[in-house]
């Protein structure tokens, strides 16, 4: 019966996102500007290096990676921290706490609709454009299915990170700074702004085990058929890392939230 | 047991508050301070509410009303004492408790802002797992009580405050909960909307035998809806009885109005037990000309005001 609750929230989320259609167009436009910038930046990097391949990636590889990373970023981006800090300050959070659902799943499913919309309206169009421009540089096969599985895990991990940081809001009541720090760390260490191949090897070894990589780098690696994801063993290794982090973040998030929610003092009223 | 919607026994709630220091230096000190003090928001409150009752829950700002409501809804855990809502311990069984309560906060909306009202209703129907038949009956009941056609397909953000409050109340009753908490439902509304909302609440209470806990600062709401009121001040329960009883409880007060020579009305609130009405009139007559005299029952508003101000006028 829970499924009925979840799908109702997804449905409402889709309707709400579609309502702000102008926002979607603006996002697409902003992406375009950002990607032009990225294009010239990396063109300069490759021109100055004087070689075809930098860290095993050609210019085209890097561009495909970064364009898809941007699209994936738009798709996976969540505003849990931001929304939660606002609803704590305004006291509105009490209305969410009074829904006959576990708060965590209520929050997750409330956001699910907007993910569906941004997947269809930003990720898929970007993917198609990349396909056309690169004339099929991305292999189309089972890797799409593997990618889908990887993305779902990435979504759960990203939500786990968001919820952990959002729970901190219950203590600080101000989250702007914390949120900026979180976003910077995620963007830098996840591969969303610089392909992880460009990091020095030692740092890369460490980053390889962190949860941030599991959000952007692993799904992209799987999609592009790199990093050993063309073999079943390599694939399971990548999925395994994602899965472990999803579970760890879930357990940590639930424990932290349950402990913290008792301290909650809802403002006003 | 079966007749009690809410049972509160010796409930206390303490908060730990950081002692803040003044000035920039103080703010920096506060970063490392472990200097807490305990504030008692609710002290030893016992209340029993029967099923189907409408109880006015009153008290001045900061008296501990919201804290009590948050404990009854399960958001806060009491420091000590016992609470049972529909036979459940709210903070232990929060999700199940939520299935059987509805809430309206006059200043906040639980509706989905950009969607038409009907979509919020459908969503709540699914979240509360209301069977389709019951949902349709409820909508039919709403239609019979208020004219919901004009707002049903209107996005919530385009509604006036009155329409939004009305919608929020309907949303709170949608899953036919045993208890509905209304926290200042008529705040900021015009006179006709207020009376519309009061009629709606009364109608729903009558049809569905829903227990209603109403907090408000508008005595018009209390007079129109509640037979029983509970007043708390500084965390303590100071009154719990019928509304009629209230007027005589703190002395037999009446308002004496006198129209003086210059056609202005002079008002005095008099405790008939300690003051002689005739005495006041004759005193006044010595200095002024009195054209007209009225002796009125004191209004609930004035009694409440007296209680909040500490009993003396």
Nearest CA in chain B to A10: B123
Question: How close does chain B come to A23, measured CA to CA in Å?
Answer: 14
Cβ of A3 under 8 Å from any chain B Cβ? no
- Where do the structural domains in chain B lie, given as residue ranges? 4-247, 251-308
Question: What's chain A's Rg over C-alpha atoms?
Answer: 20
Cβ of B277 under 8 Å from any chain A Cβ? no
Q: Which residues pair with B42 in a beta bridge?
A: B13
Answer yes or no: do A8 and B126 touch at CB < 8 A: yes
> Chain B 70-109, CB below 8 Å of chain A: which residues?
70, 73-77, 94-96, 98-99, 101, 103, 105, 107-109
Cβ of B126 under 8 Å from any chain A Cβ? yes
Q: What is the DSSP letter of B298?
A: P
Cβ of B300 under 8 Å from any chain A Cβ? no
Residues of A in contact with B158 (CB under 8 A): none
Mean pLDDT to the nearest integer, B26-54: 85
Residues of B in contact with A4 (CB under 8 A): 126, 129
Nearest CA in chain B to A19: B114
At residue A138, the pLDDT reads 81
Nearest CA in chain B to A15: B115
Query: Is A44 buried (19+), middle (13-18) or exposed (0-12) by CB count in 10 A?
Result: exposed
Name the 3-class secondary structure at B263.
coil
Going from the C-alpha of B151 to that of each of A85, B103, B117, the distances in angstroms are 31, 20, 7
Q: How far apart are the first and last CA of chain A?
A: 34
What span, in angstroms and rounded, lies between the C-alpha atoms of B89 and B110? 24
Is the pLDDT reported for residue B28 higher than 90? no
Answer yes or no: do A92 and B128 touch at CB < 8 A: no
- For B104-143, letters b (16+ CB in 10 Å) and e give bbbebbbbbebbbbebbbbbbbbbbebeeeebeebbebbe
Paired tokens of A123: 């990720």
Answer yes or no: do A100 and B75 touch at CB < 8 A: no
Nearest CA in chain B to A96: B110
Answer yes or no: do B112 and A4 touch at CB < 8 A: no
Which residue in B174, B185, B48, B205 sits closest to B99, CA to CA? B174
Name the 3-class secondary structure at B64.
coil
Going from the C-alpha of B312 to that of each of B253, B304, B305, B306, B308, the distances in angstroms are 11, 12, 10, 6, 10
Going from the C-alpha of A84 to that of each of A79, A89, B191, B232, B259, the distances in angstroms are 8, 8, 35, 32, 58
Question: How close does chain B come to A16, measured CA to CA in Å?
Answer: 6
> Which position has the token pair 């903070």?
B91
Answer yes or no: do B95 and A268 touch at CB < 8 A: no
* pLDDT (tens digit per residue) in A101-112: 999 999 999 999
Paired tokens of B12: 């206390």
At residue A269, the pLDDT reads 38
Cβ of A101 under 8 Å from any chain B Cβ? yes
- For A114-147, letters b (16+ CB in 10 Å) and e give bbbbbbebbbeebbeebeeeeeeebeeeebeebb
Q: How far apart are the first and last CA of chain B?
A: 41
Residues of B in contact with A8 (CB under 8 A): 122-123, 125-127
Name the 3-class secondary structure at B108.
coil
- Of residues B235 and A262, the one with the higher pLDDT is B235
Entry pTM:
0.85
At residue B204, the pLDDT reads 94
At residue A267, the pLDDT reads 53
**Residue A185, CB-side half-sphere exposure with 13 Å CA sphere:** 14
> Which position has the token pair 């420091």?
B79
Answer yes or no: do B95 and A91 touch at CB < 8 A: no
At residue B190, the pLDDT reads 92
At residue A268, the pLDDT reads 45
Rounded to 5°, angle at Cα B93 from B106 and B209: 55
CA A205 distance to own-chain centroid: 21
Answer yes or no: do A1 and B129 touch at CB < 8 A: yes
Is the pLDDT reported for residue B303 higher than 70? yes
What span, in angstroms and rounded, lies between the C-alpha atoms of B19 and B38? 10
Q: Which of A3, A21, A94, A257 to mutate to test the interface with B (most CBs of B within 10 A)?
A: A94
Of A5, A100, A264, the CB nearest to B98: A100
Residues of B in contact with A97 (CB under 8 A): 75, 94
* pLDDT (tens digit per residue) in B156-190: 999 999 999 999 999 999 999 999 999 999 988 99
**Residue A66, CB-side half-sphere exposure with 13 Å CA sphere:** 25
At residue A88, the pLDDT reads 82
What span, in angstroms and rounded, lies between the C-alpha atoms of A186 and A215? 9
Report helix angle A2-19 to B117-127, nearest 10: 160
CA B246 distance to own-chain centroid: 17
CATH superfamily of B4-247: P-loop containing nucleotide triphosphate hydrolases (3.40.50.300)
Phi-psi domain of B149 (left: phi exceeds 0; alpha: psi -120 through 50; beta: other): alpha
Paired tokens of A55: 């860290």
At residue A260, the pLDDT reads 85
Of A8, A90, A265, the CB nearest to B127: A8
Nearest CA in chain B to A267: B66
Q: What is the DSSP letter of B156?
A: G
At residue A256, the pLDDT reads 94
* pLDDT (tens digit per residue) in A197-227: 888 889 988 998 999 999 999 999 998 888 7
DSSP string, B28-54: HHHHH---EEEEEEEEEEEEEEETT-E
**Residue B95, CB-side half-sphere exposure with 13 Å CA sphere:** 9
Q: Which range is least confidently modeled, A18-27, A187-196, B246-255, B282-291?
A: B246-255
Is the pLDDT reported for residue B312 higher than 70? no
Of B66, B98, B108, the CB nearest to A92: B108
A-B CB pairs within 8 A amount to: 75
Q: How confident is the model at residue B249 (pLDDT cuts 50, 70, 90)?
A: low
Nearest CA in chain A to B91: A262
Is the pLDDT reported for residue B269 higher than 90? no
Strand B228-233 with B236-242, pairing: antiparallel
Q: Which residues pair with B181 in a beta bridge?
A: B103, B213
The H or E element containing residue B257 is strand B253-260
Question: How close does chain A come to B90, measured CA to CA in Å?
Answer: 11
At residue B287, the pLDDT reads 86
Cβ of A269 under 8 Å from any chain B Cβ? yes
């Amino acid at each position: 019966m829970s499924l009925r609750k979840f799908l109702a929230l997804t449905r409402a989320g889709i309707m709400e996102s579609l309502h702000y259609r102008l926002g979607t167009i603006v996002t697409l436009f902003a992406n375009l500007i950002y990607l032009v910038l990225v294009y010239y930046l990396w063109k300069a990097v490759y021109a100055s290096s004087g070689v075809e391949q930098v860290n095993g990636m050609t210019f085209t590889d890097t561009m495909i990676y970064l364009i898809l990373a941007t699209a994936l970023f738009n798709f996976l981006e969540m505003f849990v921290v931001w929304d939660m800090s606002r609803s704590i300050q305004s006291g509105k959070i009490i209305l969410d706490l009074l829904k006959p659902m576990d708060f965590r799943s209520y929050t997750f499913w409330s956001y699910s609709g907007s993910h569906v919309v941004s997947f269809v309206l930003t990720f898929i169009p970007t993917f198609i454009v990349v396909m056309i421009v690169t004339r099929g540089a991305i292999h189309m096969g089972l890797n799409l299915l593997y990618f889908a599985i990887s993305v779902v895990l990435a979504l759960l991990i990203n939500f786990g990170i968001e919820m952990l940081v959002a729970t901190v809001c219950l203590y600080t009541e101000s989250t702007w700074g914390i949120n900026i720090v979180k976003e910077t760390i995620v963007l830098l260490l996840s591969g969303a702004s610089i392909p992880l191949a460009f990091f020095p090897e030692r740092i890369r070894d460490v980053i390889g085990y962190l949860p941030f990589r599991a959000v952007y780098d692993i799904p992209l690696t799987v999609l592009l058929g790199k990093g050993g994801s063309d073999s079943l063993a390599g694939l399971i290794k990548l999925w395994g890392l994602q899965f472990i982090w999803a579970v760890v973040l879930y357990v940590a998030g639930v424990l932290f939230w349950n402990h913290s929610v008792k301290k909650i003092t809802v403002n006003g009223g | 047991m079966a007749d009690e919607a809410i049972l509160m026994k010796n409930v206390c709630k303490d908060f730990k508050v950081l002692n803040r220091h003044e000035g920039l230096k103080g703010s920096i000190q506060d970063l490392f301070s472990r200097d807490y003090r305990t504030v008692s928001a609710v002290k030893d409150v016992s209340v029993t509410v029967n099923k189907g009752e409408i109880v006015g829950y009153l008290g001045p700002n900061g008296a501990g009303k919201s804290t009590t409501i948050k404990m009854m809804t399960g958001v806060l855990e009491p420091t000590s004492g016992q609470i049972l809502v529909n036979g459940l311990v709210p903070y232990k069984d929060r999700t199940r408790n939520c299935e059987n309560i509805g809430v309206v906060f006059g200043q906040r909306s639980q509706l989905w802002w950009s969607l038409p009202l009907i979509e919020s209703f459908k969503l709540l129907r699914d979240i509360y797992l209301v069977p389709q038949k019951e949902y349709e009956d409820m909508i039919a009941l709403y239609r019979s009580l208020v004219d919901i056609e004009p707002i049903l397909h209107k996005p919530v953000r385009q509604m006036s405050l009155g329409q939004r409050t009305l919608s929020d109340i309907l949303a709170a009753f949608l899953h036919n909960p045993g208890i509905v908490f209304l926290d200042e439902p008529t705040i900021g509304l015009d006179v006709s909307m207020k009376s519309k909302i009061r009629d709606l609440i009364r109608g729903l209470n009558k049809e569905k035998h829903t227990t209603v806990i109403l907090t408000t600062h508008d005595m018009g709401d209390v007079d129109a809806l509640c037979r029983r009121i509970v007043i708390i001040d500084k965390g303590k329960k100071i009154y719990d009885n019928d509304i009629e009883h209230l007027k005589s409880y703190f002395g037999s007060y009446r308002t004496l109005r006198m129209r003086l020579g210059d056609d202005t009305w002079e008002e005095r609130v008099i405790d008939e037990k300690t003051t002689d009405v005739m005495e006041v009139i004759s005193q006044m007559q010595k200095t002024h000309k009195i054209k007209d005299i009225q002796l009125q029952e004191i209004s609930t508003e004035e009694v409440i005001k007296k209680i909040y101000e500490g009993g003396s006028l």
